[in-house]
Structure formats: C-alpha cells, structure tokens
Amino acid sequence: MDEGWEVASFDLKEGAIGQQIHCDLASEESVAEAFRALGWDRLDLLVNNGGLVYDTFMQLGDTSLDQWNSTIGSHLTGAFLMSRAALPLLTDGSSIVMMASTRALMSQGIDFAYAAAKGGMVALAQALAVQLGAKIRVNTIAPGWITNDTNLRAEDEAQHPVGRVGRPQDIAEAVLYLASAGFVTGQTLVVDGGMTKKMIYVE
C-alpha cells in the first residue's frame, strides 16, 4: 500500500488491510459473491494467501475427513477458485502468486494435510503458468519460519544460515518482486533464510 497499490482482502476474519470482503475460500458461491462485491474492473496482482491451519499434531489414523477437506479446501481449492474468479479481471502482464510453504518441499510429518495442500499449490502454479502463457505469470512463494515475535531464543535465530528468523516484510518483498519480474513464471521462490539447504542433525 505504501507503493500505491490498491488492496482488497478476502477473509473470514476482521482486521485485514485495504478493502475487506468476507469470503469462505473453499466455497464456489462465496468466492463468486466476493468478486461481485469487489466491484473492480481489473486486477494487476492476485495473491492466494489464505488457508486453515490446525494447531494440533495431525496423526494419519486420527485425522477426520472433515479436517482433511477443510485443509485442502481452504488452501488448494481456494487458490483454484480465486484464480478462476480473478481471470476475467487480470490484465496482460498481470501476476498470480501462490503462497505455499517450505512444507511443500520438505516435511515434518505432523502436518501432512497442510503439506499436501501446499504441494498442490506448487503444482497448480506450474500448470497455470504454462496454460496462461504470456498474458498472466503464475509463481509460488515458499516461506520458511516467518514471525513478528521479537522474543525468540538465540538458537532459533542462529539455526538459519542468514542468522535470523524471517519477518513478514521478507515475504512482502518477495511478492513485489514476482509481481514485476516479467521473465519469471512457473517458479517457486523459497524465502526461508537458507533453512531448506541446511542439514540438521540432533546432537
């Protein structure tokens, strides 16, 4: 917004920046209604950054179909529905950015539904980049550990090769880069301070 972008946020919660529109990302009807409420005649950038995250460890045998569907629905289905609804408004040279995760590239095992959803977003972005060609570029960002918390342990910061945990500003800068990088499409930009390139052993 500081650079002159007009922003609309589609969210189930209040407090988002810019024009806020209530929306269930997993609902085709809700997404369609949200775009009608938006009332814009063009979009230069769509960032698919919504989704549900469970706070508990998800074990395969204990995970319900509702939990699976809500995770896949809010992340992967939401990205599909938002991208499809935005298509008539996206102009030549515009951009779609999918917000995936390093969980799409490496796994903990405790969040397999989330990892599957984010991996699906990476594949979706690659396929859409090929389909939409020169008109609309489609890329993915895979954030690592991103937080506003200023009270982290020194070892949390130090385990990142760059010497610190990521901040929201790091992701914002990545989005702005992909929004303007005219020769970049179908790619996954990992923003994790080098963590996915570091082998970690228990000492």
Q: Which residues are catalytic?
A: 114
- At residue 153, the 3 state secondary structure works out as coil
- 112, with CB counted inside 10 A (0-12, 13-18, 19+), is middle
Phi, psi for residue 69 in degrees, rounded to 5: -65, -40
C-alpha span between 190 and 174 (Å, rounded): 9
C-alpha span between 118 and 50 (Å, rounded): 11
| Beta carbons of 46 and 5 less than 8 angstroms apart | no
